[in-house]
Amino acid sequence: MKIAFFDTKPYDRTWFEPMAKEKGFDIIFHEEKLNKNTAVMAKGADAVCIFVNDDADSAVMDTLKEIGVKAILLRCAGFNNVDLNRAKENDITVLRVPSYSPRAVAEYALGLLFAVNRKIHRAYVRTRDFNYSINGLMGMDLEGKTIGIVGTGKIGQAMMSIIRGLDMRVLLYDPYPIKAILEKDPSAEEKWGKGLEYVDMDTILKECDIISLHCPLTKDTQYMINKDSIAKMKDGAILINTSRGGLVNTQDLLDALAVQKFGGVGLDVYEEEDDYFFEDMSDAIISSDDLVRLTSYRNVILTSHQAFFTKEAMEAIAEVTIYNAECLAKGEELVNIVLP
């Protein structure tokens, strides 16, 4: 089986090359992202392996079909960048890595929370310049504050486990809640601690000092953080988004930042990230005014989609992706298939 990898970086080679060789796969690494202009580069391959900012839209699906590609191996969990209906029509199998290290993302989300709350990013820059003033760096104790976890899947649950020790009030929102929590089953308390409570999204917005987003990007969740939802939030609230940039309307966020609505914002994702993230653009002129403005707010930390990036997660991503390819090659059950 020949696999064409797109949007690859040196660390992808490190993890994938030895595992793929061991299993006898013929692989080719392209640095280009998959899109309608680059899809032809997969000619001769049986499958393409893509990441979060590759674009597998309908035009790409048609090209892949034309050149004989039979499968898309997502080396990530999210699949909002794949036209699943067109994949089905074109007989292209889509497989993903549903879970690699939820803890990696949850730990990072908390890292962003700690950093924006206590202004560690600003303190770091100051002391590098021998400026030891702490004016403007005051944060708040997290103990006793209310945190809202939006999306209680694998990463949301990892968040719930880690924050047990912080003695916060934890409110949850998910249209598909965890039964054990709803029914106050003792097993839930054992696993995630006391006092967890599902509420509606409005209550999350109104009552939380901190809101952390852990749901996928879908038609329903796109722009769930917009001018109306922001207006319901507490003044001085902290927003953390490690899920997908499209959950937040950037323009509305910028408007709110301009009137000092937020105490802090920690973003590992950005709705236009595919033009910038994972690339060294330090010598380039950044053409997105929104990105420049976001980066300029001192109470915002913006990182380039690195919450997943631990060695444990990379190893798991490579293992599961290669396992998916093996199942395909051997005609075995495709446990990680993604259907429309």
Contact window for ligand NAD (CB under 6 A) among 28-36, 116-124, 242-250, 323-331: 242-250
Q: Which is nearer to ligand NAD, 175 or 186 (CB)?
A: 175
Applying CB under 6 A, does 273 fall inside the site for ligand NAD? no
Residue 3 or 316 with smaller CB distance to ligand NAD: 316
**Closest residue (Cβ) to ligand NAD?**
153
Does position 102 bind ligand NAD by CB under 6 A? Answer: yes
- Looking up tokens 């330090």 gives 282
Distance CA 35, CA 60 (A): 6
Within the chain, where are the H helices?
10-22, 58-66, 84-89, 102-118, 120-128, 154-162, 179-182, 186-192, 201-207, 227-232, 250-258, 289-296, 311-330
The answer to whether 309 and 104 have CB atoms below 8 angstroms apart is: yes
Considering beta carbons, is residue 46 or 268 the nearer one to ligand NAD?
268
Under rule CB under 6 A, residue 153 binds ligand NAD: yes
Residue in 17, 62, 89, 174 binding ligand NAD, rule: CB under 6 A: 174
Q: Is 229 in the site for ligand NAD (CB under 6 A)?
A: no
Per-residue tokens: 236: 């001085």
- Our finding on whether 171 is near ligand NAD (CB under 6 A) is no
- Which residue, 62 or 275, is less far from ligand NAD as judged by CB? 275
**Closest to ligand NAD by CB, 45 or 150:** 150
Here the tokens at position 253 are 């966020």
For residues 51 and 240, what is the distance between their CA atoms, to the nearest angstrom?
A: 22
Bridge partners of residue 171, in order along the sequence:
148, 197
Length of the chain: 340
Q: Which of 78, 88, 252, 334 binds ligand NAD (CB under 6 A)?
A: 78
d(CA 12, CA 160): 30
Q: Is 273 a catalytic residue?
A: yes
**Could you tell me the CA-to-CA distances from 66 to 36, 91, 244, 271, 312 in Å, in that order?**
13, 11, 31, 31, 37
Binding residue for ligand NAD (CB under 6 A) from 151, 245, 246, 266?
Answer: 151
Which residue in 146, 243, 249, 299 binds ligand NAD (CB under 6 A)?
243
The CA–CA distances, whole Å, from 78 to 24, 31, 110, 205, 315 equal: 27, 20, 20, 25, 18
Q: How far is CA 176 from its chain centroid?
A: 20
- Binding segment for ligand NAD among 17-25, 217-225, 229-237, 330-338 (CB under 6 A)? 217-225
> Is 118 assigned a catalytic role?
no
Q: What is the largest CA-CA distance in the chain?
A: 64
Q: Residue count at the site for ligand NAD (CB under 6 A)?
A: 30
Q: Does 220 help bind ligand NAD (rule: CB under 6 A)?
A: yes
For ligand NAD, the binding residue among 63, 81, 146, 221 (CB under 6 A) is: 221
Is 226 in a helix, a strand, or coil? coil
**Interaction with ligand NAD in 251-270: which residues (CB under 6 A)?**
268-269
Which residue in the list 169, 273, 293, 319 is annotated as catalytic? 273
Binding span for ligand NAD by CB under 6 A among 83-91, 230-238, 284-292, 302-310: 302-310
The DSSP call for residue 56 is B
Please choose, from the candidates 181, 302, 287, 196, the residue with its C-alpha nearest in 3D space to the C-alpha of residue 239.
Answer: 302
Catalytic residue (choose from 13, 244, 315, 326): 244
Active site residues: 244, 273, 305
- Which residues form the interface with ligand NAD (CB under 6 A)? 77-78, 99, 102, 105, 150-156, 173-176, 214-217, 220-221, 242-244, 268-269, 305, 307-308
